[in-house]
Structure formats: C-alpha cells, structure tokens
Amino acid sequence: MKRVAIYPGSFDPVTNGHLDILKRGLRLFDIIIVAILHNPGKEGLFTVKERVGMLEESTRDLEHIEIDTFDGLLVDYAAKRNAQAILRGMRAVSDFEYEFQLALMNRRLNRDVQTVFLMTGLRWIFTSSSIIKEAARFGGDINGMVPPVVLKKLKKKFRQAYSRS
C-alpha cells in the first residue's frame, strides 16, 4: 500500500519554508498531495489559480507530488484521496497551539487520518506567507525566502513599493 499524505494549507503564496517541509515529507511518504484550501469566504492576496501555478512551477523538479485544491473539511478530502496522513510544518512554539487544536479536531472528525508534524529547517523558522507579504507590501528584501516565481509575482504585485526602494 502506498503511503499518501496530504500537505494542506493556504499557500498564499508558497514559501521556501513550505518547500523545505515538502522535501522532508517526501522522505517519509510515497506520494504527497499539496492541497490548497479553496475558501470563497476568505480572499487571499493571490487567487487559488495563481497559487496553483506558483506551486507547480516551484516544484517542477520534485517527483511524487501532486498539486490540488479542496474545499470543505480536510479530513473528508483526505479520505476521498485515500490518504493516511496530514502533513503539517512546525516552526516555533507559537505554531503549537493552533496546530494542536487543528490536529485534535481532525482526529475527532476522522480517527483514521494521522497528523504528522515535521520541523522546518532552522533557516525557515521565522518564515511565513503573511510576514513575507507584509515585507513585500512595503518593498522589503525577500530574496531567498520564496521561490523565484513567487519573488517575481510579489514584486509585480507591489511594483510601486519596490520602485521606491
């Protein structure tokens, strides 16, 4: 039986921290399905289609992964995809409370799906999509924190801020 994991998230946009978790996860699972939450009630900086595109481009050199979108409950999506695990990245202690809540609720909803946490590499410990977007919004240097395609897209989105710096 193939070991399948879902790596869910907003990925608005994908960061090098996400890619780090994905690569670590590939050492444990046969297939990882990167699943972007399609949440019509919460608009992101990028559309879901753009997020899929950026993920596809930045994972082009990786095998055994699939990029998909989902809506509704994560555990229902995991069951539909015959996944045994949900993969989540853990950075600092600040992540713990939310991740703990999420994992326990998911376990309550479906006892057959296990949540697996992986620690990010130290260099990504402070990286998050939100903090990167915040820096980019004001023209901050985010080189090396996101894949090249994302850097290009963020610079385009916040063109004015970057033209001032």
Would you tell me which residues interact with ligand PNS (CB under 6 A)?
A: 8-10, 37, 73-74, 102, 105-106
Active site (annotated) includes residue 42: yes
Strands 85-90, 114-119: pairing is parallel
Q: Exactly one of 10, 88, 129, 153 is catalytic; which is it?
A: 129
3-state secondary structure of 8: strand
Q: Exactly one of 10, 51, 58, 91 is catalytic; which is it?
A: 91
Tell me the closest approach of the beta carbon of residue 160 to ligand PNS, in angstroms: 27
Closer to ligand PNS by CB, 37 or 52: give it: 37
Tell me the closest approach of the beta carbon of residue 98 to ligand PNS, in angstroms: 7
Which helix (H) or strand (E) segment holds residue 69: the answer is: strand 65-70
Active site (annotated) includes residue 128: no
CA nearest 90: which of 145, 144, 17? Answer: 17
φ/ψ region of 131 (left if φ > 0, alpha if ψ in -120 to 50, else beta) reads: alpha
CB of 51 within 8 A of CB of 14? yes
- Find the helix packing angle between 48-58 and 148-157, rounded to 10°: 150
Tell me the closest approach of the beta carbon of residue 20 to ligand PNS, in angstroms: 15
Active site (annotated) includes residue 129: yes
Active site (annotated) includes residue 64: no
Closer to ligand PNS by CB, 10 or 120: give it: 10
Q: Exactly one of 10, 18, 51, 88 is catalytic; which is it?
A: 18
Tell me the closest approach of the beta carbon of residue 80 to ligand PNS, in angstroms: 13
Which residue has its beta carbon closest to ligand PNS? 9
**CA 132, CA 72: separation in Å to the nearest integer?**
27
Just list the catalytic residues: 18, 42, 91, 129
